[in-house]
Amino acid sequence: MPVTVSLASRSYDIAVGSGNLNNAGSLLASFKPVSRAVILTDVNVQSFGYAQSVAAAIADAGIDASILSVPAGEQSKSIETADTLWQTLLEDGTDRKAVLVTVGGGVIGDLGGFVAATYARGIRFFQVPTTLLAQVDSSVGGKVGIDLPNAKNMVGAFHQPLGVLIDTETLQTLSNEQYLCGLGEAVKYGESLDAGLFEYLEENSGKINRRDNEVLQKIVSECCRIKAQIVSEDEYETTGRRILLNYGHTFAHSFETMSGFTLLHGLAVASGAMCAAQLAVKLGLIDDALRQRFEQLHKSLHLPAEIPVNINADEAVALMQHDKKTEFGELNFVLPTGLGQCKTVKCTPQTVRDSVWG
């Protein structure tokens, strides 16, 4: 059964399966009229043949399909790449009945979604995420955008896709580091929002480390179900619900910035989650036994499990004060209040420093 993101006329399904890239043709054909499909991918993903499989399936369904490829990596989430893509779409005669299909990780989903949101005042797009991070998080929920030179995700829009097609087989070719990044986000959902998922991750750590495809399908489906529910309740992040997806993120963003963005996001989130758990213990929101249970799961999955000791605490806290979520000098954190439960809590910079690094 697909997971549905319920958003009235913008509702869509997330289909999770294995070896199902050839379903892209029938899925796209169901959104007719479709004048053509433009598949956006990166050169790395293209080398594994995923974009070609999606293009062939769409062509088999009778829809003209072409592939556009950009360099792999965060640097492609730029205004220069978006500009090149807008120009190419125009030169290729792309009209408003065309669909842009993103085949790749979060960079391709965010960039492609942004180009689709803006070209011709908005065309439709369809997500085929191929990293674990994109499958459990970025392909769902309609946040699309590009980076400014010193500000990640600063220019963007909310633009929901027509649908999401997930093939967990694609995860077998991910590097170990990229796989761990996605696991960091999956663990985040378990710790902060869903006790059942947390327990499933605990019980299946060996299979997760071996990338067991059946277990991965279950984890991806569960993460999508959790995110779809929250996005359905708070699409534009205005009611305080969607912000709960940011557990561990206030710490993580400062660690990423301090590393000059060499520390990968999902690994920073795993460290950030442990900091949030430590802060929650000090504030009396959870007991230390639960924090230790989180730590144990991180260790079993080879995720960062400790508070990063080599981080300059004053610098980290100063960076957090520049976070978008700072209000009147107080920092806003999403902190655990039990297994699979969390809430937003305001904290002074001094309390954070003393609780986490004191």
Binding positions for ligand GLY, rule: CB under 6 A: 137, 141, 143, 242, 245
Using CB under 6 A as the binding rule, whether residue 138 contacts ligand NAD is answered as yes
Give residues with Cβ within 8 angstroms of 1, minimum separation 6: none
What are φ and ψ of residue 217, in 5° steps? Answer: -60, -40
Q: Which segment (102-110, 191-199, 201-209, 218-226) binds ligand NAD by CB under 6 A?
A: 102-110
The one of ligand GLY, ligand NAD, none whose footprint includes residue 222, by CB under 5 to 8 A per kind, is: none
Using CB under 6 A as the binding rule, whether residue 112 contacts ligand NAD is answered as no
Site for ligand NAD in 239-268 (CB under 6 A): 265
Q: Which is nearer to ligand GLY, 137 or 194 (CB)?
A: 137
Q: Which is nearer to ligand GLY, 114 or 281 (CB)?
A: 114
Tell me how far, at minimum, the Cβ of 225 lies from ligand NAD, in Å: 16
How far apart are the C-alpha atoms of 334 and 275, rounded to whole Å? 11
Tell me how far, at minimum, the Cβ of 51 lies from ligand NAD, in Å: 10
- Long-range contacts: 272-275, Cβ < 8 Å, 24+? 272/248, 273/184, 273/187, 273/188, 273/191, 273/192, 273/247, 273/248, 273/298, 274/248, 274/298, 274/304, 274/305, 274/306, 274/307, 275/248, 275/251, 275/307, 275/356
**DSSP character at residue 327:** B
Using CB under 6 A as the binding rule, whether residue 237 contacts ligand NAD is answered as no
Binding test (CB under 6 A) with ligand NAD, winner from 77, 159, 188, 249:
77
Beta bridge partners of 165: 15
Q: Which is nearer to ligand NAD, 188 or 291 (CB)?
A: 188
Q: 3-state class of 299 per DSSP?
A: helix
Using CB under 6 A as the binding rule, whether residue 199 contacts ligand NAD is answered as no
Q: 3-state class of 239 per DSSP?
A: coil
Site for ligand NAD in 273-332 (CB under 6 A): none
Say if residues 142 and 117 touch (Cβ distance below 8 Å).
Answer: no
Binding test (CB under 6 A) with ligand NAD, winner from 104, 161, 190, 308:
104
Say if residues 34 and 5 touch (Cβ distance below 8 Å).
Answer: no
Q: Which is nearer to ligand NAD, 199 or 323 (CB)?
A: 323
Q: Which is nearer to ligand NAD, 19 or 62 (CB)?
A: 19
Using CB under 6 A as the binding rule, whether residue 74 contacts ligand NAD is answered as yes
The one of ligand NAD, ligand GLY, none whose footprint includes residue 104, by CB under 5 to 8 A per kind, is: ligand NAD
**DSSP character at residue 240:** S
Tell me how far, at minimum, the Cβ of 22 lies from ligand NAD, in Å: 16
Tell me how far, at minimum, the Cβ of 116 lies from ligand GLY, in Å: 17
Using CB under 6 A as the binding rule, whether residue 131 contacts ligand NAD is answered as yes
Say if residues 157 and 5 touch (Cβ distance below 8 Å).
Answer: no
Q: Output the DSSP codes for 187-219.
A: HHHHHHH-HHHHHHHHHTHHHHHTT-HHHHHHH
Q: Which is nearer to ligand GLY, 54 or 197 (CB)?
A: 197
Binding test (CB under 6 A) with ligand NAD, winner from 53, 102, 178, 254:
178
The one of ligand NAD, ligand GLY, none whose footprint includes residue 242, by CB under 5 to 8 A per kind, is: ligand GLY
How far apart are the C-alpha atoms of 220 and 299, rounded to whole Å? 21
Tell me how far, at minimum, the Cβ of 41 lies from ligand NAD, in Å: 9
Q: Output the DSSP codes for 113-171.
A: HHHHHHGGG--EEEEEE-SHHIIIIITSS-EEEEEETTEEEEEEEE---S-EEEEGGGG
Binding test (CB under 6 A) with ligand NAD, winner from 3, 51, 110, 216:
110
CB atoms within 10 A of CB 42: 22
What are φ and ψ of residue 90, in 5° steps? Answer: -65, -50
Binding test (CB under 6 A) with ligand NAD, winner from 112, 137, 183, 356:
137
